[in-house]
C-alpha cells in the first residue's frame, strides 16, 4: 500500500481502492487477501510496480477504468483514497448473499448520515434571522 501511495503522489495518477476493498471503512466484513484498486493508467503502474502478473495467489488486483462514478466522492484517509460509501454499497449489492447483507450495514450508515444532516439543517432553519438595518 505504501508503494501505491508513493507512486500515485509522484506520478499524479489517481489510484483508489475499490468499493469491495474499502468496505472495512464503513462496515464489518471479512475480506480476502486481494487488495483491489481502480486507476485510469494501468500501463504506467505496471511499468513501475515490482512483481509479476499471476493467476496464483495474487495480492493486488488493478482495474483500469476512466468511469468517473468509481472516483466520485472518494474519501482520503491515512494517505490513500478509498471508495465512497455509495460506491461500496453498489459493489456489495451486486455480490453474493453475504455481500448484500453487508450492504445493509452500509445503507444504515448512509441513511444515518443523511438524517444527521437533515436534523442540523432543520434545527438551524428554526432559529430566527436577525438583521442590523
Binned at pLDDT 50, 70 and 90, residue 45 comes out as confident
Q: What is the mean pLDDT of the chain?
A: 87
Neighbours of 129 (CB within 10 A): 5
pLDDT above 90 for 6: no
> What φ, ψ does residue 125 adopt, rounded to 5°?
-80, -15
With vertex at residue 73, the alpha carbon angle to CA 59 and CA 8, rounded to the nearest 5 degrees, is 45
Per-residue pLDDT at 133: 45
Q: Alpha-carbon distance 83 to 74, whole Å?
A: 5
Task: Give strand pairing partners of 38.
Answer: 16, 63
Q: Are 63 and 40 in contact (CB under 8 A)?
A: no
Place of cell 515490482: 50
**pLDDT digits 0-9 by tens, 51-89:** 888 888 889 999 999 999 999 999 999 889 999 999 999
Amino acid at each position: 500500500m505504501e508503494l501505491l501511495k508513493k507512486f500515485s503522489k509522484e506520478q499524479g495518477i489517481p489510484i483508489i481502492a475499490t468499493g469491495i476493498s474499502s468496505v472495512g471503512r464503513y462496515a464489518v466484513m471479512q475480506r480476502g487477501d486481494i487488495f483491489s484498486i481502480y486507476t485510469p493508467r494501468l500501463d504506467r503502474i505496471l511499468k513501475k510496480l515490482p512483481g509479476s502478473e499471476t493467476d496464483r495467489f495474487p495480492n493486488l488486483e488493478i482495474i483500469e477504468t476512466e468511469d468517473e462514478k468509481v472516483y466520485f466522492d472518494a474519501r482520503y484517509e491515512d494517505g490513500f483514497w478509498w471508495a465512497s460509501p455509495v460506491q461500496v454499497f453498489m459493489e456489495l449489492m451486486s455480490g453474493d448473499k453475504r455481500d448484500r447483507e453487508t450492504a445493509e450495514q452500509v445503507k444504515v450508515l448512509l441513511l444515518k448520515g443523511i438524517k444527521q444532516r437533515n436534523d442540523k439543517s432543520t434545527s438551524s432553519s428554526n432559529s430566527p434571522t436577525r438583521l442590523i438595518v
